[in-house]
Structure formats: C-alpha cells, structure tokens
Structure 1
C-alpha cells in the first residue's frame, strides 16, 4: 500500500548500497526486536487469512481483507472490528468459495481521491470501490487479451498510476477457470488506463511498494523459487526495468520458519516493514536488515497508522491474527 510520503532520504541511502550485496542470514543470526504479546499486541484471533492492510488517515480507519471469508473488514481503536464489504473478492455463484482460498479480496490501497482500490482475486482483476453504492469499477482484468492470474498486491503512486503483482497461485489446482497467461507478472496501470508489463520473470512476485520518492520499487518473492526481496530501479516512464537485484534472501529459512516474504509498508523516512518468515522484518533505508518482530502465526501484510506527521503504530495481519506494534518503541529497538 502506497503512502503519499515526501521524504527523499530513502533514495539517497539506497544509492549507497553495494550493488552486489545480498544479506542471506540463518534464522539464528537475525536480531530479535520483540515477540508476540510483548512488542506485538494481539487484537484479534478469529481471522481466516488476513491480508491487504491499509490505513486511511482522513477517517482513522484500517481496512484489511479476509480471503476465505470473502470480506473486507474495517478497524478503529475506538470501535474495534466491523464488516466493511461482503462479498468482496468473489461475487459469483455460491459454492465456488470452497474451492480456493484465494477467491476472496487481497491487497487494498488508496487512490488520489481516497477511494479504495483493491485486488479482487476471485475475479482476477484490479478494481475501485464506490463506497456509496458498494459497487466496483474494473481497472484491469487482462493483459494482451488474456485474463490475469491472481492479482495479489498493489500500490498507487502520486501520479495515479497503479503497480500490482499477479502471481500464478492456485489456479491450476483449485480455480474453475484455466490459466490464460503462462507467467507471473508485475504490472503498471497508467493514468490513462493502459496495463503495461514491467517484469514477467519472477516465479511468484508478491508484495510491492515504492521508496518515498518513488525512485525504487521493492518486490517480495514467495512460493516457487528463492524466497527473497528485490529492489528495482525503473526508467523515467516507470515502464521499463533499468536494474534489479536481491537485497535480502531467506533461502536458509524456507521450510524451517513459517511464512514467506509477503506484503510490506514503507515509512516516511524510507524504513521498510516487511512481513515474511517468522514475523515482521525491518530494513533501514540503505536496505540493511535491522531485526525481526517474531510472531507465532504467519503474517501477510501490514500498514502504518499515523497521527498527523507521526507514525504511531504498525498494524499487522495474517492467518489467525491481527496485531499492533508501537512504532516509536520498534524504531528505538532497531537502532540500538
């Protein structure tokens, strides 16, 4: 989920990172910043598979998806949890929801008019929600005339363009429709509505976001292939890849620690909060791994709750849980 942040420090720091430096730690080698119940406060347990966390500052609401329940929830510190939209990810024939966990909604972002834009996985598309009528406007559902795979995560840039990932999760095994594309993709929806392929080489791209000045794109790779995080530099049009590299690999965690690199949030100062194996991984703006908040169950996405210009807390969601983490305490521990 993209926040319309103004800090320029992230790009400057990333430029200083060695091009060939890949951090590939073993689980026992990372700094533990805190744990569930200590640093990570549990808000809710009865969640099917929580995803797509988004904070809307103007209303003070957090939105997140529950995929198997085909629901988008909202949460506030005052009123707690409530249903925002159901059905959300799939609105077709009854009974199909039992055939795939990914038929529900996934990532949610804000456009420049504060409308919710989301990955409507059940229909394999990107859509915008009309909150007055609870209807959706389809923004993208195909590439070169072929239906998208499994729209997963997205972010919105300041010019209104939308970047999203489209991995090939589950469809050959569970969904009633056959795959039409033979690759997983990272795409851009231009302000004019054109869907452009940015990269079709990753086996399963997942989370996506940009540095505060939008010079660098971060993408998590999960599932097939190496579990890791990439940093991309795009050309001026943001339609072609100039460079990309892995900056952190969790290959030593795969199969040993629950989870996989998934959704992320970027702070105004360029810090990266990335859900992945074992909990939430923190990276400084120069892409150094600064520690892990251990969470017992898998986590899948997060967003930053702000109070004016202050980043107050990190809202984290995943299968079987929603959590909040105090940002001031978290940053202090990461910098020690």
Structure 2
C-alpha cells in the first residue's frame, strides 16, 4: 500500500526507510530535528537514552516498554505490561499484507517489490519463501474456509487459492476495463469480499505501468518485461477511476460500493467485528496523479444490504500537530482500530482508536508501519510490517477473525 507521504516529509519511502541498522538505529531523533525545517513543530525523539537497539543481539529491554504509550486509561487494558516491542525479522524489501493462517500456524507476508510471498512460522520464527513469484501481491487475507485471497498489482487482479492448489481469479476488470492495482482486502461476515483499487501499484517497481500516454507512463518509455521479454498481454492497460469493490458471495458479481468522488484514493479497509461498519483509509495521491489526492483520514460507513451508507470521517490521523499518513489497519474483538502511522521520527509506528474515533494509544517505532494484523494461536500477537522489517508485540486483546 503506497500512499503519498504527509507534508512533513518528501516521500513515503523516505518516511519508512529511515530506521533500522543492524543491531541498532540508523538515524537518531536529534539528527531528524537538526535537519528538519525550524518553522515546523518538532516531534519528540523516538530514541531513548541510551539509544534503543533492536534484534537478537539487543540488550534486555526495560519494562514497561517506554515506546508503548497510553493516551487514555483504556489502552492499558489492551496491552500486556510485561511485553516489549520486538524486531522479529528483517530480510524483505517492502513488506505488506500480513495474514494469519490459523490451521498452519504461520503468518503470510507479501513483498511487493520482490514479488515474493514469505511464510513466518510461529513455532520458531523461521522465514521461508511461500510463493516464489506472486505478481507483486499486496493485501492478503484467509477467508472463513482458510482459503488465501490475494491482491496482485502485477496482474491487476484479485485471486483466491483453493484447497486443491488451483488459482481462481475473482476479479480483474470492471465495466470492461482492467483494474488498477488491487491493494487491500477484507472479508465481511456475510462472505462477501471487499477490496480497494487505487493506482499505487501501477509502477514498474511494484506491478506494471500504464499504457503509453497514461498517468504513470506519460512518455511511453516504460515497458512491461519478464525475464527480458516484453509480455504483450499486459499492453493497453490504463488507470481508471479508483473504487472500493464488493464481490457477492453467491454470484461473484463485482459491485462498486464507493467511487473516487465519494472517497479519494482508497487504501486500507477493515470491518467492525459484527460487520455493521466498514472503515476505509483515504491516502495521498498515487503515481501519476496530479493534485492532493486523498485527505489522509480514516472514514467509516454503515453496511446494509451490501452497500455503504452514511460515509463519514472517523479519524483525522493528527498527532502532536502533525498529519500522519495512514496505510493499513486491523481491528480487535472490542472494535478498536490499530492503524499504521507514517510520519516524522518519534511519531511514526502504530496509533490505536476506540470505536468512537478517539485515539487511545500508540506504539512508537523507528519507522512507519505499512500494514498489520493479529496472529498467533490465540490471535493475541500484533504483527507489524515496516519496510523490510517485521515487528511484533504481545497484547492483551485478540484480533477479530478473519484478519
């Protein structure tokens, strides 16, 4: 999921990448303050004294963890005071779409740049390649039957992997035109599949660019190749309007439940535990777009009869005077939203909202989080993707399944 960065920083990748070095931190909050414009309010440093280190060789951390911050007393009920934020793995390129598999006891991850899916084993934390070529998959989810649903930037489609290993294409076009780059996906309790379709993957890095003359390939210089050969079947794709889509569980019919006019640049999507409410993130302008793009807010709508009603702002993602950039989110059994927050060092990481839209807590990390989910045998471990790294936190709540 690749929204534009908040105004504080020049680019989203810059926000997320300025983080970890082996065994420690690459950039300190003092350095960030020294190079930031003096006219802007400066956030508190994420660096503790002495500087916090991450990884297997890191010293024993203090408890309670100073980077688990309660903004409301209710947040203390959701976290476990004897748990630290941990760096579980580094080795990807740009990690997205974490999805917990309850039967296999593993976490599945997408690497949108390498076009690989990884499997993180619960028993020992080992990471291996799950799918060697994933067509730049992004969002993933396991449905109620344990089938993997993936959003593929490269093929501009949403697919479901059946129990027999076959691949079923759920959606690849709308109104006769190819999809843009399906991004995030959620399964409603009624079995319908909802996904967002912005244009963040319409690039040579994370998918394939538009046809010549289109927004991400205006001069026609970029060509889609695979192992050095031009793949002609990808020709002619042009970005269409962004939508939020719903796939009917009975007929498979694809319906646009939100248009670009209703919500610009849709990104992360999630349902309340009972499915009565849908949350959608409006991110910044995508590749090739002109103008501001989305408002960087989380929006909420009521779900009735397969449609969205009363779409409204839910959370503005403002933190200490800074507009944070939301990306993906996940929901616990109490209806709290845990949302990846991208922005200045010291503020980035994860923010948590209660069902009333009040920010009750946050997790401070050395880089922003693209997407996150709950997993583990009890679904009480939060997994957070941040550029090439995976962080974890034992919590005192559970994720609403499927996640």
1:293 aligns with 2:363: yes
Match of 1:315 in 2: 383
- TM-score by length of structure 2 reads 0.64
Confirm or deny: 8 A CA contact 2:333 2:397 kept in the other structure.
Answer: no
Aligned match of 2:266: 205
Displacement of 1:190 in angstroms is: 0.5
C-alpha contact (below 8 Å) 1:152/1:167 kept by paired residues: yes
Q: Does the C-alpha gap of structure 1 residues 169 and 253 become closer, same or farther in structure 2, counting only changes over 3 Å?
A: farther
The farther-off stretch of 66-75 and 38-47 is 38-47
Which ranges in structure 1 are unaligned for 5 or more consecutive residues? 1-25, 91-103, 332-336
Which residue number in structure 2 is paired with residue 237 of structure 1? Answer: 305
Match of 2:102 among 43, 54, 57: 57
Q: 1:182 to 1:293 in 2, by over 3 A?
A: same
Could you tell me whether the CA contact under 8 Å between 1:33 and 1:293 is conserved in 2? Answer: no
Match of 1:94 in 2: none
Decide which of 206, 210, 216 is 1:173's aligned counterpart: 216
| 2:80 corresponding residue in structure 1 | none
For 2:319 and 2:339, the matched residues in 1 are separated by: 17
* TM-aligned CA deviation for residue 59 of structure 1: 2.0
Query: In the alignment, is the contact (CA less than 8 A) between 1:284 and 1:290 conserved in 2?
Result: yes
Which of 143, 155, 164 does residue 186 from structure 2 map onto? 155
CA distance in 1 between partners of 2:42 and 2:131 (Å): 38
C-alpha distance in 1 between matches for 2:236 and 2:320: 32
Question: Which residue of structure 2 lines up, in the alignment, with residue 123 of structure 1?
Answer: 155
Separation in 2 of the partners of 1:243 and 1:307?
36
2:67 matched to which residue of 1? Answer: 34
Residues 122, 376 of structure 2: 8 Å contact kept: no
Alignment RMSD, CA only? 2.8
CA displacement at 1:43 relative to structure 2:
1.1
Q: Would you say 1:143 and 2:180 are equivalent positions?
A: no
Q: Does 1:74 align with 2:130?
A: no
Q: d(CA) in 2 for partners of 1:220 and 1:40?
A: 25
Q: Which residue of 2 aligns with 1:221?
A: 282
1:162–1:330 CA distance, 2 compared to 1 (3 A): closer
- Contact 2:297–2:316, Cα closer than 8 Å, also in 1: yes
Structure 1 residues 131 and 298: CA distance shift in structure 2, 3 A: farther
Deviation at 1:313, TM superposition (A): 1.0
In structure 2, stretches of 5+ residues that fail to align are: 1-40, 45-64, 70-82, 203-214, 225-234, 285-292, 343-347
Q: Does 1:324 align with 2:392?
A: yes
Output the CA distance in 2 between the equivalents of 1:205 and 1:61: 28
Q: Once the two structures are superposed, what CA deviation does each residue of 1:254-294 show, in whole Å capped at 9, x if it has no partner?
A: 9x78x721111111111111112211111112221112211
**What is the rounded CA distance, in whole Å, between the counterparts of 1:150 and 1:214 in structure 2?**
25
Q: Quick one: distance in 1 between partners of 2:397 and 2:305?
A: 38
CA contact (8 A) 1:33 1:291 kept: no
**Residue 334 (structure 2) aligned to one of 264, 269, 288:** 269
The change in CA–CA distance for 1:142 and 1:297 in structure 2 (over 3 A counts) is same
- Aligned residue in 2 for 1:107: 139
Aligned to 2:132: 86
SS of corresponding position for 1:123 = coil
Give 1:27 shift: 8.3
TM-score (ref. length: structure 1): 0.76
Q: 1:183 — aligned with what? A: 241
The equivalent residue for 1:18 is: none
8 Å contact from structure 2 (residues 180, 197) kept in 1: yes
